[in-house]
Amino acid sequence: MADNGPVAAKRCDAGSLSSVSMETILALTELEDLERVYQQLCAEEKEVDSELERLVGQEGTIHTKMLALQRMGPNLQLIEGDASQLSGMITFTCSLAENVSRKVRQLDLAKTRLYNVIQRADDILDLKFCTDGVQTALRNEDYEQAAAHIHRYLSLDQSVIELSRQGEESSAVDASLLMLQDAEQKLKVIVAEKLDEAVAAVDLAQVERFFKIFPLLGLHQQGLDRFGQYLCSQLSSKAEENLLLASGGDLGEKRAPLVFADTLTLLLEGIARVVETHQPIVETYYGPGHLYTLITHLQQECDRQAQKIVDKFIQQRGYHNKFQVAQSNMMKSVPGEGIEPRELDPVLTEVTLMNARAELYLRFLRRRMLADFEVGDAQSVTQEHQQNTEKLLKHCLLSRTMQELIGYYIPMEEYYMRESVNKAVAMDTYEKGQLTSSMVDDCFYIVKKCISRALSSSSIDCLCAMINHANSVLESDFREVLYNKLRQGFPATTLQDIQRGVSSAVSLMQSSLQQGKFNTMGIESAEHAKAAFLVTLNNVEVCSENITTLKRNLENDCSKLFNQGAGSGEQAKIESCLSDLVDTSAKFKDLLQEGLTELNTTAIKPQVKPWISSFLSISHNIEEEEFNDYEANDPWVQQLIVNLEQLMAEFKTAQSPVIYDILTSLMTSLISIEMEKTVLKCSFSRLGGLQFDKELRSLVAYLTTVTTWTIRDKFARLTQMATILNLERVTEILDYWGPNSGPLTWRLTPAEVRQVLALRVDFRSEDIKRLRL
Amino acid sequence: MYFACDLCIPSSYKSGEYPVFLFSMSMEDYDYLFKIVLIGNAGVGKTCLVRRFTQGLFPPGQGATIGVDFMIKTVEIKGQKVKLQIWDTAGQERFRSITQSYYRSANALILTYDITCEDSFRCLPEWLREIEQYANNQVVTILVGNKIDLAEKREVLRQRAEDFAESQSMLYLETSAKESDNVERLFLDLACELIQEAKQNKLDNNDTAPMPGEGKTISYLSCCNLN
């Protein structure tokens, strides 16, 4: 206990730093515990010592910092002085500024009031001046002057006038106001009367004079109404005159078939000219945005007159009548009874021209009205104006009438197209030396003509509808015609007879003679059917191409239309309709493929097969002597080549290059397959293999000259078979097989290689079996 | 009576907001392209149905359609991209000859009437005659009674329309373009049906050699026939 006393006391001073409290130490009784605590306390003492040393070490730096701070002392005092001085100055400036600005504000207020006073004084003076001016002007019949005074009065601030009336001179102001209002009413009446008089007298100068006065009196609407009426009456008389000329006049002229389109054009051009000439006046005197109102008036007259022209057109051309005949004829689908398509030609052209004129006119109006709104306020040509404009143009009677005309036009044009195509089919002729017959060119000429006419109407919907109909005619009607012709098939047997040459022809003649009649008709009609089939194949191929060309040309034509500003939605519509033509073109391609397959199976296969199988009758199990004999007199391949040449020569002259190419390709495939089958049925000696190799080489060399396709690939298997049949001994195959194959890719399986090896009579089957492939 | 395809997931509206030009379409990847033509009397809400579906809008005071309008929207059905070309036609008589030219190439026709307008319902046989005359015989026709939001003004009872549709073996659906009721379903169900038809045709054409991966069709078909 006594030992621990000082330590404990010291620890006590250190207080909280020690982890062992005094009480704990005092409570300790065991020596072990005491020692442990002692150790602990010693360690703590060391720590405290090092800490103390570190703190003492810092003393130097703290001292230097203190010195620096002491040196800064006086400076701080200086700064404080400056700062308070600055603050004083700012306060002073601030109050000064406030003083000044208060005065300025007061001045400003005073100035504004002064201006107002001057304004009002001016207004009152003006009022008086106007009152006097109006009287004199009215007396002098100087209506422009009077209207200018009234305009001045009307543009005065009404509240100012009210205020003035409350002032001292109220009675005087009241009197002049009354006088002004009186004069205003009087002037309005006079101007209206004068304008009516001028309208009645058809005095354009006077009409325009009074028309200009209306907006000054705040009567924009009335002025435009009256002016519109005047212009309408002018248009009306002119239009009626024109219509009378058109319907009664000499129809012998060149333009007679288009006389109603011309009359409509005159009307629309007349209105366009009126708009063009009067737009400046309206814009100058009425301000921008008022052209719409004037055009609304003009459009009413336009609708009336256009309706009259169209009515007359329908009546004189028998438009509805023709429509009904065409319509009922299409429903019954009985050809020949209805109206001649040719008779519809002029009326269809006239309708499309009329619609095109109307579209052009409406486009002109739209451009003018929107431009006029735009002058008023570029930002506010918004929705409302645009909607009003569109509503006026799209739903005006002219538009509706034209839509009706086009509604009748489409079925008639469809009728024209279907009937003309039927005719072209019925009158189909084929001239020797031509690849296609006349109906293909005729049919596409008609389709193109009809679509072009629809396009010339400038109506996108009309164009789309005709593209749809054209597509339908081509895809259903016309394709059906070609399909049926192909279905009659290619007369196989007779052709074979002819191809077999003189001997068979003789036998045919003999058999005919035996039957007691010489049947050349059979040969001739078969010849005819054969030519018809080949021509139809060409027709199908050209159709497919023509449709693609038609689509491309229409795309070009339409892009011109879009440059004139049709919307993107319209463009998408046309493109969608045109894209259907691509499908139709593909359908013709399918048909061509079908026809070619038919030709291949009926005309080529039955002929080529026996030629190839005659290979069987030529022994290839030969010795030196026979080989030399073959060398001198070719037993098989030369005849085959001659036969093939004869067969293809006919197709070469009768078919388009594209079809001829496909045919030769089909034929070479056929030959290679048949050859393979035949070779596997033969047996070969060493020299027989060599003979076959020679024969194959000649055949491939010949076929290479007649096709544009590469045929080496098709004959790869056969060439490899020839290689095998040419081996000296069985094991030689290993020089070409597996790792030794080099650039050669084997198309034969190991089993097939064995099969071919077995064809050699001199190869032993044990050797073949023993091979490791 | 309906066929439903609740698993149909409409792709975002963005894709169909603007008509896409067709030449660029061939570059795009889609599994199916179908032409749908809406027909029916003037004012029954054909344009509103199309705008609701393609743009998600219900424009009040829609003016009469002139000629035909054309919209495109691509939807995704069971992971397959289906491009719907929707032709919105004018109902007014004078545009009839334009409208008729679109029937032949249509994969589907949506014959629309207004449930608050007896007249538009009575005209349906006339429309069916038109379809008979101009459309191809494989066309899918669906009858739609629009404007069910105006239930208090209903003039054509649902049962009556359903009976009529059944007698003509058409599908029937009632919609509201305004409240967007059944609009998505109309077009998506139609797309489902058209895919089914297309697959059926394909199977008919080469029934000897079923394509690998066609097995999935069955689960798909069953999903469409759930209710």
Mean pLDDT taken over chain A: 83
Domain spans of chain B? 30-202
pLDDT bracket for residue A500 (50, 70, 90): very low
SS3 state of residue A761: coil
CB B150 within 8 A of CB B118: no
Most confident range (mean pLDDT) of A303-317, A510-524, A695-709 is A303-317
Of B63, B69, B48, B54, residue with least CA distance to B150? B48
8 Å CB contact of A569 and B70 = yes
Please check whether the two domains, A474-506+525-599 and A618-770, share a CATH topology: no
Q: How far B219 CA sits from the closest chain A CA (Å)?
A: 32
Chain B residues near residue A460 by CB distance under 8 angstroms: 67
Task: Please say if the pLDDT value at position B162 is more than 90.
Answer: yes
Mean per-residue pLDDT, A685-692: 90
Q: Tell me how far apart the alpha carbons of residues A21 and A15 are, in angstroms, rounded to a whole number.
A: 8
User: pLDDT value at position A705?
Assistant: 86
Q: φ and ψ at A754, to 5 degrees? A: -60, -40
Q: What is the pLDDT of residues A310-352, one digit of tens each?
A: 999 999 888 998 898 888 888 776 555 678 888 899 999 999 9
Q: What is the pLDDT of residues A204-257, one digit of tens each?
A: 777 777 787 777 777 778 788 888 888 888 888 888 888 888 777 665 566 778
Do A16 and A48 meet the contact criterion of CB atoms below 8 Å apart? no
Q: Average of pLDDT values for B94-116?
A: 94
**pLDDT tens digit sequence for B70-87:** 899 999 888 889 999 999
Can you give the pLDDT at residue A121?
78
**Region B19-35 average pLDDT:** 61
**What 8-state DSSP symbol labels residue A213?**
H
Q: Beta strand B80-89 with B68-77: parallel, antiparallel or unpaired?
A: antiparallel
A576 vs B contacts (CB less than 8 Å): 22, 70, 85
Over the stretch A51-102, which tens digit does the pLDDT of each residue have?
999 999 888 899 999 998 888 888 888 999 999 999 999 999 999 999 999 9
pLDDT at A13: 46
B137 contacts in chain A (CB < 8 Å): none
Phi, psi of B40 (to 5 degrees): 140, 170
Strands B171-174 and B140-146: parallel
Q: Which residues of B touch A404 (CB under 8 A)?
A: 94
Cα separation values, A589 from A30, A87, A537, A595, A714, Å:
115, 98, 10, 10, 24
Residues of B in contact with A472 (CB under 8 A): 101, 104
> Where are chain A's structural domains?
219-427, 474-506+525-599, 618-770
Q: Which residues of A touch B (CB under 8 A)?
A: 391, 394-395, 400, 403-404, 406-408, 410-411, 414, 459-462, 464-466, 468-469, 471-472, 568-569, 571-573, 575-576, 578-580
> Does pLDDT of A494 surpass 50?
no
Q: Find the largest Cα–Cα distance for chain B.
A: 55
Residue A237 has φ and ψ, to the nearest 5°, of -65, -40
Q: Please tell me the predicted confidence (pLDDT) of residue A6.
A: 43
DSSP letter, residue B93: G
What percent of chain A stands above pLDDT 90? Answer: 31
Look at residue A593 and tell me whether its pLDDT is greater than 60: yes
Closest CA to A543 of A597, A486, A601: A486
Q: How far apart are CA A766 and CA A125, in angstroms?
A: 138
> From B71, which residue of chain A is nearest by alpha-carbon distance?
A569
| pLDDT band, residue A440 (cuts 50/70/90) | very high
Chain A partners within 8 Å of B68 (Cβ): 461, 464, 573
Q: How confident is the model at residue A168 (pLDDT cuts 50, 70, 90)?
A: low
Percentage helix, strand, coil for chain A under 3-state DSSP, each rounded to 5: 85, 0, 15
Mean predicted lDDT score pLDDT of chain B: 79
CB-based contact A468 B105, cutoff 8 Å:
yes
How far is the C-alpha of A437 from the C-alpha of A535, rounded, in Å? 7
Q: Which CATH number fits domain B30-202: 3.40.50.9100, 3.40.930.10, 2.10.210.10, 3.40.50.300?
A: 3.40.50.300
Q: Inspect the interface and report whether the beta carbons of B21 and A571 lie closer than 8 Å.
A: yes
Phi, psi (deg, nearest 5) at residue B144? -125, 125
Task: Please list the alpha-helical segments (H only) found in chain B.
Answer: 22-25, 46-55, 96-100, 118-122, 124-134, 158-167, 183-205, 216-224
Q: Could you tell me which of A208, A397, A359 has the C-alpha nearest to residue A272? A: A359
Domain A474-506+525-599 has CATH 1.10.287.1060: yes
What residues of A are in contact with residue B19 (Cβ under 8 Å)? 568-569, 572
* pTM of structure: 0.75
Type of residue numbered A506: V
Question: Could you tell me how many residues make up chain A?
Answer: 773
pLDDT for B117-127, tens place per residue? Answer: 999 999 999 99
Are the beta carbons of A572 and B104 separated by less than 8 Å? no
Which of A395, A461, A579 faces B98 most closely, judged by CB atoms? A461
Of A410, A471, A579, the CB nearest to B97: A410
Q: Is the pLDDT score of A773 beyond 90? A: no
Inter-chain residue contact B104 with A472, CB threshold 8 Å: yes
With bands split at pLDDT 50, 70 and 90, how would you rate the model's confidence at A566?
low
Class for domain A618-770, per CATH? mainly alpha
User: Is it the case that residue B159 has pLDDT exceeding 80?
Assistant: yes
Q: Model ipTM?
A: 0.79
Of the ranges A33-42, A236-245, A648-657, B43-52, which is most confident? B43-52
Task: Report the gap between the CA of A403 and the closest CA in chain B (Å).
Answer: 7
Chain B: closest CA distance from residue A676 (Å) = 28
Q: How far is B98 from chain A (nearest CA, A)?
A: 5
| CA-based nearest residue to A534, from A464, A618, A437, A614 | A437
A chain contacts of residue B63, beta-carbon cutoff 8 Å: 391, 394-395
Q: Given pLDDT bands bounded at 50, 70 and 90, which one contains residue A154?
A: confident
